[in-house]
Structure 1
Amino acid sequence: MESPATLEASLQALEAQVLRLQTALDQTQVLFQESPGAAFLLIPQGRILDVNVRGAALLGSTREVLQGRRLAQSLAPASQPTFAALLARVFEGRGRQTGEVQVLTSGGEVLDIALEASPQQSGGESPCCHLTLTDVTAFKLAHRALWDTQQAQETQLQDQALKLRQLQEEFESVMLASGREMEATLTRAESFLTLSRQHPETPSYLAHAEDGVRQTQGLLESLKQYMQMRFLRARMRSVDLGRVLREVLKDVQDQMAGRDVQVTSEALPTVYGDSQALQIILHEYLSNALKFTRTQPRIRLHVLVQETETEYRIGVEDNGVGFNMRQKDKAFELFGRLHPSAEYEGTGLGLPVVRRLCERFGGRAWGEGKVDQGATFWFAWPKTPAGK
């Protein structure tokens, strides 16, 4: 049998332990009550064991009124099954659970609530659930307003895109009709001038008019090509550039007739793109090279190929008049010229067409040269083009 002194010491130790537990419980209660969020303690039946000040304020009630009441009574009917399922998962031992519900306040207000629930033991008694509620109503309203604004903007963009397509189609129709009318007018003018030349008293200045008509016809043809490029319906497929080069060389036979022309080429790759666009590009480069080598007794053209991880670079090198690199960007401007029109015919639309075609598919176009030492015009074609 223990002595009175031993019992007294054990009793004091037990009282100290109870005091520490009570202190810890009081501190926990203080932390719970002063939690910055709305906090609840629920028993498995979903009844409120305790609620902090912010939780009671969220429901528009008091702690005393809410204790023992089912929290589901404060939820919108549509949210009650969701809440019951979430609570069941917590008490089945599935750990922390999150969800969203709608709360009905005592004032009739509907709040969108994000909740987080986790299991918690309460002093050795039945398990309880610690529930934190966060009012996300303002966030939801802002999100819905943003969504509505986005939908309105998408509708507006679709309307604008439709109007733009209609304007584009109208513009295309006007340009085609205007082109046909201009072509017919120029043909009549050319016929008149041809007949006038046969008359012995034809004024000499009509020859200048005839040159003007021919230049205008060339400009019209270039504009038609430019419009063709602008409204090109891309058909993406594998394109053998070697085959394209052979077709282009057939097209420029007239420029090569009676001249000492040698065309060589490195092995050209098969690329993914639009065959019509690639034919226009190579045709313009070869036609340009033949034009600016006409003063050379022997014309040498060479097609170069460079490959990187992302693109193929194709260049057409010539031994013609070349150009000053300070003017390299001018060649690709609309109606830009590097040489006088009196010496070299052209409208200044060919290279801009090339650049725009390349850019349309995610590529690039540029030129390199030196005066009287030839030029090389390049285009870079991506291995994964953005054709549209």
Structure 2
Amino acid sequence: MTAQTSGWTLRQRVVTLLAVVGLLLVGLAVAEAFVATQNRAKTDAVLNKTAPLRVQAQELLNALLDQETAVRGFAVSGDRADLAPYDDGLRLERDRVASMQQLLDDYPEIREELRQVESQAEQWRQSVALPVIATTEQEGTAAGQALVTDQARQQFDQVRDAVNALQDEIVSAREKGARDVQRTGNLLVVLLIVAALVVVVTGAVLLLSLDRMVVRPLTALADQVREVAEGDYQHSITGAGPPEFRRLADDVDAMRRKIAKDLAEVREARERIEWVNSQLQKQAEELTRSNRDLEQFAYVASHDLQEPLRKVASFCQLLQRRYAGQLDERADQYIAFAVDGAQRMQRLINDLLAFSRIGRLTAGFTEVDLNKVMGDVAGQTEAARQYADAELTWSELPVIRGEEPLLTNLLANLVSNSIKFRRPDVRPRVHVSARLVGDEWEITCQDNGIGIEPEFADKIFVIFQRLHAKDAYPGTGIGLAIVKKIVEYHGGRVWVDTDVPEGTAIRFTLPALPEDVAAATAATEDAGTGDDAAVGAEGPAGEPAAPAGDATPDQAGRAEEAQPADGPRVAPDEGRTGGMKETVG
């Protein structure tokens, strides 16, 4: 179905409506700002100009009255002290006139009335006040009083009338300003009401438009989608309203068709999955049966199969001891071959049983101190170390969660292999160290033996994989396979580091305890060393963990010989010789 795209889109309609309303509101806002500015100016004129002018006009009248009263009093008394109000009034008059002049820029009528008051006051002083003062001082009070006539009083009344006219003009200007303030205030209110009406009308129009153009088409579309959601996937969906909604309806209908197609494929896939599940169920039952058979085989191998092996080995050894030298040399060689084969078969069965039991027969994880484990490993490998004059050292090792017997077997295999694959002309040295890398302990067993070529680094962990003939280096070829399985059972990984300068460095990881990770993180933040601080993270006892692979075996040996108080730990009874003890791997 093709969407009809003619007509205005919903976005265009909404944008047009909002643009028109925005222009109206902007125009109203500009008008309101202009009217508000006028209102503010008129209010400022009323409060800060006409009101002070009215007060100052009254003070000007009082100053003139003080002058007139002082002149008449001086004419009666002749006392010069009675002229003090005249002088004060004259100064006050001049101050008030100067102050009023500063407020009259917008009031030329008031300025003219003020000029009339100044003119009338000056005429009165020249024709009345100054002659009375001079006459009284020269001819006495009687002559002075004679000048204070009705005509002089009428002349001062003219001054009073001029001041009254000034006050009337100020009052008129104030009233006019108040009317202007009221008018602009009313106009501002009208503009605000118009703006509110525009907003209300716009909201109503927008609401009705949204109901017609959005709500109704969406409701209809939702009803159709609901029918499809209830299972009617063949119901065709059509749209109405703006072009966007019609396109949306087309998209939803396309999705409906795709869902219907996918559901058909899902039904087919479900049928295939059910068939596969039934096959998997059969295979799981077969695997369970096979596991039971394997457990039965393990039991037979550990009991029934070893019994005849022990008997064969015992009687072969008995023949070897009783008839050694009595038969010919070839017979003695055959008997030795039989004894050796029976013993190797016995060791091979034991190693296979140990390999199969890893992770299957478990006592649960506990916190294991690897320092104690290394002490046990030193005891287990003591005979081999004495025979090879080997030196075993280890740095401070962490506490981890695991199974102590398996971890002891793991480290014993690594140490035994390091002693076994030694160079004939070099005293064997084995060093075990640990460092915290992220949330894991990386533990390294490094020796100064014959080493491993990089191309064989991955093959040594394969069961029964041997790089040398069994005559050159004894063993079943399963020791490092046991190591790999134990490490992976504990959630780690194991590999050979081929970048060491000499010998072999086998590294493996074990998950660290959360408190060790938190302590290392806190120490790193306090020291400000950044992410690289993991290389020098502290061990469980607060001693720095020895970097794995950084020191050569000779350096480890020199560290052991120096015997510092906090240096690497050394296996006991170093340097003694004795019979060789058979070790796994």
For residues 183 and 37 of structure 1, do their structure 2 counterparts lie closer, same or farther at Cα, with a shift above 3 Å needed? same
Aligned to 2:327: 201
More deviation in 165-174 or 333-342? 165-174
Structure 1 residue 318: Cα displacement? 1.4
CA RMSD of aligned residues (A): 4.6
Q: Aligned residue for 1:170?
A: 293
Structure 1 residues 237 and 28, CA, compared in 2 at 3 Å: closer, same or farther?
same
2:315 equivalent in structure 1 = 192
User: Compared with structure 1, are the counterparts of its residues 369 and 344 closer, same or farther at alpha carbon in structure 2 (3 Å cutoff)?
Assistant: farther
* CA deviation profile, 1:312-345 (whole Å, cap 9, x unmatched): 1111111222221221111111111122211101
Identify unmatched segments of 5+ residues in structure 1: 1-17, 41-53, 59-99, 103-108, 110-135
How far the C-alpha of 1:208 sits from its partner, in A, is: 1.9
Aligned pair count reads 283
Question: Structure 2 CA distance, aligned partners of 1:23 and 1:269?
Answer: 72
Residues in 1 aligned to 2:489 and 2:433: alpha-carbon distance in whole angstroms: 22
CA distance in 1, matches of 2:369, 2:486: 18
**Structure having the larger proportion of residues in helix:** 2
Question: Hey, what does 1:37 align to over in structure 2?
Answer: 220
The structure 2 residue matched to 1:379, chosen from 483, 487, 508, is: 508
Q: 2:447 aligns with which of 296, 318, 322?
A: 318
Structure 1 CA distance, aligned partners of 2:425 and 2:353? 31
Specify which structure has the higher proportion of strand. Answer: 1
Secondary structure class of the residue paired with 1:242: helix
1:344 aligns with 2:473: yes
Counterpart CA distance in 2 for 1:39 and 1:175 is 66
Partner residue of 1:246? Answer: 375
How far off is 1:287 after superposition? 1.2
Separation in structure 2 between the aligned mates of residue 23 and residue 217 of structure 1, nearest angstrom:
93
Quick check: 265-274 or 187-196, which moved more? 187-196
CA contact (8 A) 2:359 2:489 kept: no
Query: Match for residue 289 of structure 1?
Result: 418
Give the one of 472, 485, 499 matched to 1:356.
Answer: 485
Match for residue 305 of structure 2 among 166, 173, 182: 182
Percent sequence identity over aligned pairs: 28
CA contact 2:394–2:432 (8 Å) conserved in 1? yes
* 1:321–1:371 Cα contact (<8 Å) kept: no
Which of 299, 310, 326 aligns to 2:428? It is 299
Residues 230 and 269 (structure 1), Cα distance of their counterparts in 2 relative to 1, 3 Å cut: closer
Following the alignment from structure 1 to structure 2, what is the Cα–Cα distance between the partners of residues 314 and 211?
36
Amino acid at match of 1:181: D
Larger radius of gyration: 2
Contact 2:448 2:502 in 1 (8 A): yes
- Which sits farther off after the overlay, 193-202 or 270-279? 193-202
Uncovered stretches (5+) of structure 2, i.e. residues with no partner: 1-200, 233-255, 515-585
AA in 2 matched with 1:37: A
Q: Secondary structure at the match of 2:318?
A: helix
In the TM superposition, residue 288 of structure 1 has moved relative to its aligned partner by 0.9
- In 1, the alpha carbon distance for the partners of 2:383 and 2:405 equals 21
1:339 is paired with a residue whose SS is coil
- Residue 256 of structure 1 and its aligned partner are, at CA, apart by 2.2
Partner of 2:438: 309
TM (norm. structure 1) is 0.59
Q: Deviations over 1:47-98 (max 9, x none)?
A: xxxxxxx69x96xxxxxxxxxxxxxxxxxxxxxxxxxxxxxxxxxxxxxxxx
Q: Which amino acid aligns with 1:228?
A: R
